Structure formats: C-alpha cells, structure tokens
Structure 1
Amino acid sequence: MVWRWLFSVNWSAAWISVPLVMVETYSLVDAFLFGLTMWKLRVRDTPPAPPEDLTVDVFITTYNEPIDLVMTTARAASRISYPHKTWILDDGGRHAMKSAAESAGIGYITRSPDWENHRRHAKAGNLNNALAATQGEFLLILDADQVPEPGIVHSMLGHFANEKVALVQTPQWFHNVTDEDILGSQAPLFYGPIQQGKDGWNAAFFCGSNAMIRREALMQIGITGYVQGVRTTVRQTLRAADKVIARARTEHAATGPHVFQALEEVEMAVRNARKDLHDNRPVASITYDFQRKVDAAARSIVTADVASLQADLDEIGRLSGDNRTVFIDDATIDRLAQRDWSPIGAIKSVRKMVQALDVDRSDEAIPVMPMATNSVTEDMATCMRLHTQGWESVYHHEIQAKGLAPEDLRTMLTQRLRWAQGTMQVFFRENPLLQNGLSAGQRLMYFSTMWSYLSGFAAVVYIAAPIIFLCFGVLPVAAFSVDFFARLIPFLVVNQILFFVAARGRKTWRGQQYSIALFPVWIKACTTAAANVIFGRDLGFAVTPKTRQGDGPPWSLIRPQLVAIAALVIAAVTGLIRMFVGAGAPAGTLVNIAWVAFDLVLLSVIIRAALYKGYTPTEDGEK
C-alpha cells in the first residue's frame, strides 16, 4: 500500500485513482482487523456443572409473531431441565397471547402503565420492563422463534462460576436453511471463528438471543448509565445557561437593578455548578445547591417588586385617609415566587433552567434502563457497556437453540439493514475507540465490526473502476506493470489463505458474496444512522417477519445491484471491442475483464436470492 500511494497513483485521473487506492487501504485495514481477531481464537473447555440453587428467568421476547410460534418456543422453554421460571414478554399486549400463556402455566408480562405516553425503545424497552417485574439472578433471553434444548441452562450457567462473567452467548442456528444457504443466514464464520476470536480478546458479543446474562451486571450498567445520563443533562443545561441569562437580561432590561443582581447571582451559581461537576461532586448535591440559589434569586426579585408594591399601597392608604396598612407576609412572597403565572418575566427564564435539571428523567417510563436504548441493536450497545465496566463475556460454541431464518430476500434485507443501522448508531454515539474502560483489544474488536459496514462505499469504487477503464480507457493506476501485479497478487492470495485457515472447513463464500452484494444496504445503514444521531431522524424498529413476505421476486429492492450488473456486462463487451479495434491496451483490458467477472460472481447471489422461493420440507430430506 505504501508503494500504491507513492508510486502507482494516476494523478491525471485522481477522481477515480485516489478513491481506488483509498478503498484498497480500507480493505487492507479490514484484513488486518480480521487477522487480529483470529490471532487469539479461543476454544473453551466444558464449564463446570452449575449449583442447583441459582434462580433463572427465561425471557421470550415477542411483538407480533404468530401465537403458535411463540407458544412452541415457550413450551420448549418450560421443559428446560434446570429450575427456572419462563416468561413471555409480549410487547404487543395481545389478549390471545396472554390467554395462551396462562393456559400453559407460563408467565406473561406486558408493558406496565408507566410506559404510556413515553418512548417505548422497542425490544430494549420490553426487556427493561420485564427486568423491573422479575427477580431471577440470571436471565436467558430467547427470540420468539428460537426453540431451546432442555440442557441449555446447564450448558451455559457453569461459566458464571467466574464472578466476573456477565454474559454467555451461544450460536444462532436455523433449521429452515438448506445447505446452499442462498440468503446467507447461518453465518458460520461469525458464529464460530469470529466470535471465538473476539472471545480471546474478552470481547465476545451479545447477539440478542440465545444468551444468558447476570442480572447484577445489567443493573450495574443501568445505574451507571442513569448517573451518566443525569450528568450529561446537567452539563448540557449549564452549557446553555449563559445564553438563557443573556436573553433574560435583554428581555427585562427595564425592570430594575434588582433583576440584574438576581441574574448575576444565577450566573455565579452556574459557574460554581460547572466547577463542582468538573470536580466530580455528587450530582444530587450540585443540582440541590444550584436550585436553592436559583430559588433564592427568584425570591429576591419577587421580594423587591412586592416591597415596591407595598410602598405604593401604603401611599394609597395614606392619601385616602385609611390608617390600615396592607401587609404581605413571607409565605405570600414564597407562593408568588413559585407560581408559573407570576407577572415577573425574569422568573420564567430562571424557572426554565431549574426545570431542565431533571434528575428524575421524567421523559422516560422508568429512570434506570439496564438494556441500552440508544440503538436499534440493543445487544451490542449493552455488551460494550458491560465491558467498559470490567465485566467479562463468554462465547459458548454449542448449538442450544434452533430458530427460523428469513425465507425471502425482502425479509433478509429488512433484518440486515436493522443490524447495520444499530451497529453504526453505536459507532456514532459511543465510538469504542474513545470509550474509557475498554482494553485496546476490545476497542479494536468492536471497531472491526463497525468498520466492516463501510464496505458498501468501497464496493461502489470496486465496481466503478473497471467500468470506467473498459468504457473510457481511464487508468486508475499509473500502469498495469509487473511491479503492480507483484504486489497485488500476493496480497489477494494471502487474504484468501487467511479466510481458508480461519474458517477451518466452514463455508465462508456466501458471506464474502453478500459483503459486496448488499452494498446499497450498508450505505443506507451508514447514512441513516448518521442522520439519526446527528439530526434526530427516526429509524423505527422493524421486527423480522417469521413468514415469507409477498409474492414474486422483489426486483425493486435490488435495483442498484441490477444496474451495477448491467453496467459491468456492458463494460466487458465495450472493453473487448475497444481492445480488438486497437483502442484499449490488451493487458489492462484483460485484467479489468477478470475484475468484472469476479464482481459479477459476487453480485450474482442477489439474483438467486430474489428468485429463492423459500424453504420446503423436501429440501430437508435432500440434506
């Protein structure tokens, strides 16, 4: 790559040559991060048998999945051999679901009234609501379709003999997938070498289902998150206080010196509160002292105005010959200072500052949210917070539950988009490279997953570069010389050897295809997540459907890929014609046609996926 940057960039066509060398650099970093993950691959021994006196809650999360499907999972969960309590967490609040659960003797939890008119936070909110209603020391979390084996708790609970372990994750495996796995659902590379590699760095991920979590660890990060959220609110309020005070001075310039004096007192209180926050004084003490000073300032304004009013009333009484004195006591002044309808305009500005310091988090249904609510993939965000607090995670490489994979391309695209959006939300909000408490290895393990979703932008360049050369003869490199191939070919070969060695016989080709073929999804995920974090645009939360959606191939959903395929074919034909008429260099043309062929092989999976008609039982027999 040093050679590429210094000696091979075609600066006369920098508009394409520079993006190309940039994405090549991106790919090198991606390969490095993958190799680093594999470097500490950990294969764990069988954990010790757990004690029999631990309390376990099994949570089955559901929103609108078919009731029969949920009950199949719930009945299997109720047969888990370790003593436990099974709960259906019905975020849809369905009466039929409740009746089915009660008939089977299975616990049923839906949102409490506290959630009315508050943000629901999708699956994270559902789990947080259930945490507040249960007491189990350990939580087994299952999606509605993930049917558990009877021994699932026994196989995982022993890892918690290490008191530092907060999370144990097992693979997600799907029984409605053929060996060909056209939609790339099984992810054998991730639920295997990648998770085992991350486990070696104490960074195995929570994947939302088929995982067991220690309640104590969740509650710790919930309380820590609450404190950090309150401190952030206080910091933001104090940062905006100067503008509030300046506006109050402007609006009430003619009200008298007592208003300016009161506002100066508030300004001093702001400075002191900032200093106290910087010195890590308890937030409760800071807000209490600050609010007392603001109340005192507001009361001084009222006292001064009432004193003036008292003098006016006394003068009126004297002039009218009435010797009685109109008297307003301290209690009256306090009531005036508290009333929102107070005619003293400066109080409104002061009151806004007081109300902004909301340590009760009245905007949320419950103040403490153990499961992270800042991303549509609450699992990764929660796991990273556990790691920042010093907790450990375990990847237990044993299939202990079997679920349902998407049965059509439309559903798969919905699922992959949500995963990617959530991951990038975490990246923009809580960049792991900047998080205190994470080790260097943990930072890179989280960052590598987030980095991988930038591949959508790289794919556009990799597709465009050969098209530009074959159609217009624009060289993206100085020359396709021996020097170029002597460096490129070894990199490509070693990169494939890395995947082959790491996979240990597992099929990884489908994953490589989709890393390029889903480039519009990855780009949309990055841009929409950025818009959500920066501009507050809503992403929503799409539950992955468990049945086939629609009839016929969803060609409209893969229009960018179809355009790319057509452009690559046209470019190949154009390049061959240019070469035969002497307008194109033979070496460069052949290299780029090979490049086009490789791109077409990668992208072809999206057409097969669009034509896929779903899993049928006969295919299972063929397996």
Structure 2
Amino acid sequence: MSEIDRFQTRTPWKPLRHSPLQEAAWQFLATMSLVFGLWYISWRWTSSLNFDALWFAVPLLMAETAAFVGLVLFTINLWTSKSPPQQPPPATIGDCMDGADSSGTEDRPLAVDVFFATYSEDPELVRLGLRDAKLIEYPHPIDLRVHVLDDGKRPEMAEVARQEGANYLTRDDNVGFKAGNLRNAMGMTSGDFVVICDADTRPFPTLLVETLGYFRDPKVAWVQTPQWFCDVPPGVPLDAVMGRWAGRAGGAVGRGLQRLFGPMRIGEDPFANDPQMFFDVILRRRNWANASFCCGAGSIHRREAVMEAALRQWADKVEAAAGSNERAARRLTGEAALDESIRDAVRWQGAVEEEFTPYKFHVSEDIYTSIVLHSDRERGWKSVLHPKVQSRMLSPNDLLSWTIQRFKYAGGTVDILIHDNPLFRRGLTLPQKIMYGVTFYSYLSPLWNVVFLAAPIVFLFTGIRPVSAYSLDFFLHITAFLLLNEMSQLVATWGISNAKGRAWYLAMFPLNMKALWTVFRGRKISFPVTPKERQAGSYPRLVRWQIGVVAVTGVGLAWGWTAHGMGIEGYTLGAMIANTLWGGNNMLSMLPMIRAAFWQPDPVYEAPILAEATK
C-alpha cells in the first residue's frame, strides 16, 4: 500500500474563522507589545550597556534589536485577516475576462490543464494523483486535461499515464529542472488555467469549484491553496491523554488547558511539518496587501498572466542586452551611431540568445514567479490564498529528507534576496515589499539566534554580564514586553499551537546559517528532489550543533549555580535566574529537533492515533 494511501481516512484542518472581536484584541495587544518592546530596546541602548564588556554587550543588543525589527514585520504581516470574497464558479471563459478583453471572444467552456511534475518518484505514487484528478468536479461544462510532466523519461511512467488517460510530456534535456519542466509543458498545452501538482499531490474533487471563482476578477493571476500533509501524525488531544491517566478530572483539566493555550496534542508530527500556521495565518493574512505568494503545488494559474509577465521580462532583457551590445559595437567602430540594419541585427541576436522562461529557472521558481507577476504594475496582477485545503500531499518523514527540503527553501530564498532583491524591484507596492521583506528577513534570523544561544553560555562560564546589572529595572522592562508579546501571539494564532514552530525556528540555526554561507560564497543551490519515502536510520550528525547547545548550556548551568553558591563575584541571584530561564528555553527549543533525528514510527501507537484522528 502506498504511503499516501495509508492515510486516506484523515481529514485536513478547517480554516480559522475570522472574528472581528479577536482581531481587535490582537491588534490592541500587538500594539502594546511593540510599544513596550520599543521602550525595552530604547532602555537597553541608553541605560543598560555593560561598558566593561562591550565585546559581549553590543553584539547581544544588536541581536535583540534585529529580533525586534523582525517582530515589527511579523506584526504587520498578521495585522488583519481581510481577504477577497469567494465567488461562484465561472461558467465560461468570458466570465473570467473584462469587457474589453472578452469582446469578440467565443463564449466557450473553460479549459484547465492539470500538471503533475515528476522526476524520480514512484510512478504508482503519481498514478494516485492522476486518478484523483479525473474525479475533479465542476458544475458547468469544462475541458479538463491531465498531463504528466516526466523529467525522468521513464517508460513505466509513460505507461501509467497511458493507463490513466493522461497526456505524457517529456523533453530532451532537464535544463531548469522543475521550472524548465513547467516551461516545456506550457509550450505544449493551451488551457486557460494551469493547476500545478507535485508527484505526490492528490487533488480533491472540489479543487476547481472552490478556486476558479476568484478568477472572475480578471486581475487575479493565481490562487494558492494550502498544502496539507496527510501523513503527519495527528497526535492525541491533551484531554484524551489526561483522561486516560486521570479519568474525568484529567480530561476536564486537559480541556481547560487547551481553552487557555490552544490545541495541544501528544505524539503529533515530530518534524513540525504541519503547515497550518504558515498557510492559514501568515500567508492568508497577506491577502489584504495582494502579497500572498505562490508555493508551487496546489496552485492554480491564469495562463495569460504567466505568459505575459514572462514575455514582458524577456523583452526587457532583450532590450537591455541590445543596448549593451550596441555600445560595444560603437566602441569597436568608433561611430557615433550604428546603421539601423545593424541595430536590428544586434536586437535579433539578443532575442535569439535570451531564453523565454515562463517559470524562472531557479530553485525557488514559485516565489520568483510571484515576484515577477506582482511587480507588473501595468497589469496589476493579483494573488489569493484560498484558506480551505484542496489536496493532500506527503511530508518528509525523516530528518534527512526534511533537511534536504528546508535547505532548498532557505537557500533559494536567500539567493533571491542577494541577487534579485524584491525590495528594490520596480513595480511592487510598499505593502507587497513589506510582506516579501518579512519572508526574506526571517531567513536572516540565524545571525541573531546564534547570539541568543551563546549569550547565556558566555555568562554561565565567565560571570561576565551583557547588561550593567540584572536589577529590578531590568526585570520590569523585559517582563512587561515578553508577557505582552506572548499574549498577543496567543490571541493572533488562537486555535493553532505555534510552540513547536517557534522552537524549530531557533533550532534550525545551523541549516539556515549554512544556506546563508552557501549563497554569500556564490555557490549554486542545487535542485534535489525531496524523497517521498521514509529514509531508514537515525541522523545524530544532523543535530550535532543542537546537541552541543544542550550539553554546553547544561554544564554551564551546573557551573553557574555552583559559582553562585560559592559567592563568586558576578553570579548574583538575579543574573542566575535570568540566565537559567534563558538557557533552559534554549535547551528545550533544541529538543524537538534532536528527538526528530532519532524518531521512528511506532506502528503500535499509530493505531490509536489514527482512531482518534478519524472520530
């Protein structure tokens, strides 16, 4: 049985309901959090520096400031949940065009191409998606075509496509990897809309009914649906676990804790793969700024938008190359101007040499395409994050596969930041630049997270303080800020537990630092296919830095409290309390990733989890 078929009975999350009262509470608490955060940062710069250890004090304060900037950006991202209203499915192509564009156009049924991009994945896995694609429903006549885009050029994949009635597309080379695969398919198909699926994507029958209505707005270029990993262990709700341990009283306590702190489950996803926080909160709340970006699989694209944006970018590059070549020719000939026939030849040569790429040849072609379309100010293309899950996929089920995937994400994003920074791209609106900035800024986090991990260790072993004193004034400033920040985040994400995601955000510092270093050295980020089957074994090598943080911090705590007991200078009670809480949080944040390196699925425990999840 296929991995994805084992979890057929699982159902995806339901989108969070928008509550005006909750949003108002979040906005108030978030504002107060930023006010007190600014108060804290200002106090730190003006009144708390330890001038006897500036080598330690200044880097920490710079890290705190950088993290606060990230909090400001994150708050802007989460500020409001406004999204375009869902519209009924269009009956004909004319419903998706404005009056000027539709004049003279035959009012015909919509044509939709469904692309399954594959390279080395099991053909039987792709077969499941092809079968589901044939079950896609629509209330009006529609021309639905399913295509297998096989960069592996495999006869067995071609046979599966033939058996399932899908069109088999391949090419002579693999230039551009997935982006090149999509480009090739765009040139061989003609649907009005294109659905992007990965090899393991299994679309729901409601995919087009739920999403094509947005395209009634002729400016909508693509709609992204959440990626739901159906094989993520759902865990058992806390009240059920406590009920087994302590009967009705335990169940009541568990329910009370979840009402206060949000859903909590035991035995859930060990890899923090659950993407609800990203799709249902972060990306969904970019709809108001027209800045929700494409994430590849599960997205529906208007062909006209993709091709027109690519054509415009191609023309700009040809013109730029022609200008450069013309200047070079004038330098060689010494002429003030070239003959028109020569100028035409130069332009033609530039057009021949410049490749036309509907999807950018890049490891992060999805977000790159989003930036290109959003920056087309002349057409004013829009994007939408539709909150309801419309497909199921497989997640990385071992730390090696997870690391391959996340390094590709991090490296690709940083590469765009360095080489084609959207903050300096013409055409993007200020809100769009801010939203893209949130994403890119988050991948710089290891630069300050490393400082946060090292700071308590430095103090515990040396007794040197990064602040002038761990005084009452210090605790008043930082406690007010931290409490308000925790309360605001709790309200903002009510209904979703983001504790594990925050822990992994800190624990991923070696991977993100490696991505930064790779790009800064000018190295190419490769295009590895994320394995769809669980890789056997444990991976302690992948968490050696995290294990080191836990071990060194633990030894430091023992050393520090011993020094405090001996009355050694610098190891005051306030300093020890602050650094114990700090170091303890760092250690706890490393543990989920360390556990994931050794995690093995437990078939005995899986059965009750599945039963619980399907109630």
TM-score bracket relative to the smaller structure: 0.7 to 0.9
1:153 offset after TM fit, Å?
A: 0.9
Correspondence list, 1:298-447, <5 A: 358-362=349-353, 367-373=355-361, 375-389=362-376, 390-447=380-437
**Alignment-mate amino acid for residue 545 of structure 1:** P
Is 2:115 the partner of 1:124? no
* 1:476 counterpart SS class: coil
Q: What is aligned with 1:145?
A: 200
Report the Cα distance in structure 1 between the residues aligned to 2:326 and 2:468, rounded to whole angstroms. Answer: 56
TM-score calculated relative to the size of structure 1: 0.79
Report the Cα distance in structure 1 between the residues aligned to 2:510 and 2:519, rounded to whole angstroms. Answer: 14
* 1:142 counterpart SS class: strand
Provide, for residues 24-65 of structure 1, a one-character-per-residue CA deviation record: whole Å limited to 9, x for no partner.
Answer: 111111111111011132245332222151110001111111
Report the Cα distance in structure 1 between the residues aligned to 2:50 and 2:310, rounded to whole angstroms. Answer: 53
- Contact 1:188–1:508 (8 Å) recurs in 2: no
Is 2:76 the partner of 1:36? yes
Q: What is aligned with 1:170?
A: 225
1:290 offset after TM fit, Å?
A: 4.3
Is 2:169 the partner of 1:109? yes
1:358 offset after TM fit, Å?
A: 4.0
- Contact 1:409–1:554 (8 Å) recurs in 2: yes
**Alignment-mate amino acid for residue 26 of structure 1:** A
Structure 1 residues 581 and 238: CA distance shift in structure 2, 3 A: farther
1:600 equivalent among 569, 580, 587: 587
Structure 1 residues 221 and 481: CA distance shift in structure 2, 3 A: same
Report the Cα distance in structure 2 between the residues aligned to 1:42 and 1:613, rounded to whole angstroms. Answer: 41
1:95 offset after TM fit, Å?
A: 1.0
1:361 offset after TM fit, Å?
A: 4.4
Is 2:596 the partner of 1:541? no
- Contact 1:187–1:511 (8 Å) recurs in 2: no
Structure 1 residues 233 and 481: CA distance shift in structure 2, 3 A: farther
Q: What is aligned with 1:88?
A: 148
Provide, for residues 362-416 of structure 1, a one-character-per-residue CA deviation record: whole Å limited to 9, x for no partner.
Answer: 4x7xx3111122x311110100111001200011100110111111111111111
* 1:217 counterpart SS class: helix
- Contact 1:177–1:615 (8 Å) recurs in 2: no
- Contact 1:166–1:393 (8 Å) recurs in 2: yes
Report the Cα distance in structure 2 between the residues aligned to 1:268 and 1:503, rounded to whole angstroms. Answer: 66
1:11 equivalent among 51, 71, 96: 51
* 1:39 counterpart SS class: coil
Provide, for residues 216-251 of structure 1, a one-character-per-residue CA deviation record: whole Å limited to 9, x for no partner.
Answer: 000111111212322343455567x4xxx9xxxxxx
Residue range with higher mean Cα deviation, 213-222 or 608-617: 608-617
* 1:140 counterpart SS class: strand
Report the Cα distance in structure 2 between the residues aligned to 1:31 and 1:128, rounded to whole angstroms. Answer: 38
Report the Cα distance in structure 2 between the residues aligned to 1:55 and 1:197, rounded to whole angstroms. Answer: 30
Is 2:270 the partner of 1:182? yes
Structure 1 residues 589 and 91: CA distance shift in structure 2, 3 A: same
Q: What is aligned with 2:158?
A: 98
- Contact 1:516–1:602 (8 Å) recurs in 2: yes
Listed as ranges, the gaps of 5+ residues in structure 2 are 1-40, 93-108, 235-267
* 2:200 counterpart SS class: coil
Provide, for residues 233-286 of structure 1, a one-character-per-residue CA deviation record: whole Å limited to 9, x for no partner.
Answer: 3455567x4xxx9xxxxxxxxxxxxxxxxx8662445xx58xxxxxxxxxxx98
- Contact 2:540–2:598 (8 Å) recurs in 1: no
Report the Cα distance in structure 1 between the residues aligned to 2:424 and 2:292, rounded to whole angstroms. Answer: 19
**Alignment-mate amino acid for residue 233 of structure 1:** A
Q: What is aligned with 2:122?
A: 66
**Alignment-mate amino acid for residue 62 of structure 1:** T
1:168 offset after TM fit, Å?
A: 0.4
1:130 offset after TM fit, Å?
A: 0.4
Report the Cα distance in structure 1 between the residues aligned to 2:57 and 2:205, rounded to whole angstroms. Answer: 57
Report the Cα distance in structure 2 between the residues aligned to 1:110 and 1:415, rounded to whole angstroms. Answer: 24
1:504 offset after TM fit, Å?
A: 2.0
* 2:196 counterpart SS class: strand
Report the Cα distance in structure 1 between the residues aligned to 2:325 and 2:581, rounded to whole angstroms. Answer: 59
Provide, for residues 406-434 of structure 1, a one-character-per-residue CA deviation record: whole Å limited to 9, x for no partner.
Answer: 11111111111111111111111221211
2:488 equivalent among 479, 485, 498: 498
- Contact 2:198–2:297 (8 Å) recurs in 1: yes
Is 2:459 the partner of 1:460? no
Q: What is aligned with 1:266?
A: 333
Q: What is aligned with 1:25?
A: 65
1:122 offset after TM fit, Å?
A: 1.3
TM-score calculated relative to the size of structure 2: 0.80
- Contact 1:73–1:145 (8 Å) recurs in 2: yes
Is 2:298 the partner of 1:219? no
* 1:87 counterpart SS class: strand
Provide, for residues 42-95 of structure 1, a one-character-per-residue CA deviation record: whole Å limited to 9, x for no partner.
Answer: 245332222151110001111111111011011111221233100011111111
* 2:222 counterpart SS class: strand
Structure 1 residues 238 and 11: CA distance shift in structure 2, 3 A: farther
- Contact 1:76–1:148 (8 Å) recurs in 2: yes
2:133 equivalent among 77, 91, 94: 77
Q: What is aligned with 2:519?
A: 529
Structure 1 residues 64 and 591: CA distance shift in structure 2, 3 A: same
Report the Cα distance in structure 2 between the residues aligned to 1:596 and 1:134, rounded to whole angstroms. Answer: 57
Report the Cα distance in structure 1 between the residues aligned to 2:602 and 2:427, rounded to whole angstroms. Answer: 45
- Contact 2:408–2:526 (8 Å) recurs in 1: no
2:575 equivalent among 588, 591, 601: 588
Report the Cα distance in structure 2 between the residues aligned to 1:387 and 1:174, rounded to whole angstroms. Answer: 28
1:150 offset after TM fit, Å?
A: 0.9
Q: What is aligned with 2:282?
A: 194
1:4 offset after TM fit, Å?
A: 1.3
1:454 offset after TM fit, Å?
A: 1.1
Report the Cα distance in structure 2 between the residues aligned to 1:58 and 1:615, rounded to whole angstroms. Answer: 36
Structure 1 residues 264 and 385: CA distance shift in structure 2, 3 A: closer
Report the Cα distance in structure 2 between the residues aligned to 1:76 and 1:415, rounded to whole angstroms. Answer: 25
- Contact 1:44–1:396 (8 Å) recurs in 2: no
Q: What is aligned with 2:34?
A: none
1:574 equivalent among 559, 565, 588: 559
Listed as ranges, the gaps of 5+ residues in structure 1 are 246-262, 274-284, 293-353
Report the Cα distance in structure 1 between the residues aligned to 2:324 and 2:65, rounded to whole angstroms. Answer: 38
- Contact 1:58–1:139 (8 Å) recurs in 2: yes
**Alignment-mate amino acid for residue 590 of structure 1:** I
Larger Rg computed on CA atoms: 1
Structure 1 residues 266 and 481: CA distance shift in structure 2, 3 A: farther
**Alignment-mate amino acid for residue 350 of structure 2:** V
Structure 1 residues 222 and 565: CA distance shift in structure 2, 3 A: same
1:495 offset after TM fit, Å?
A: 1.8
Report the Cα distance in structure 2 between the residues aligned to 1:28 and 1:596, rounded to whole angstroms. Answer: 20
Report the Cα distance in structure 1 between the residues aligned to 2:83 and 2:348, rounded to whole angstroms. Answer: 49
Report the Cα distance in structure 2 between the residues aligned to 1:508 and 1:549, rounded to whole angstroms. Answer: 27
- Contact 1:188–1:507 (8 Å) recurs in 2: no
Residue identity over aligned pairs, in percent, reads: 35
Report the Cα distance in structure 1 between the residues aligned to 2:326 and 2:451, rounded to whole angstroms. Answer: 46
1:194 offset after TM fit, Å?
A: 0.8
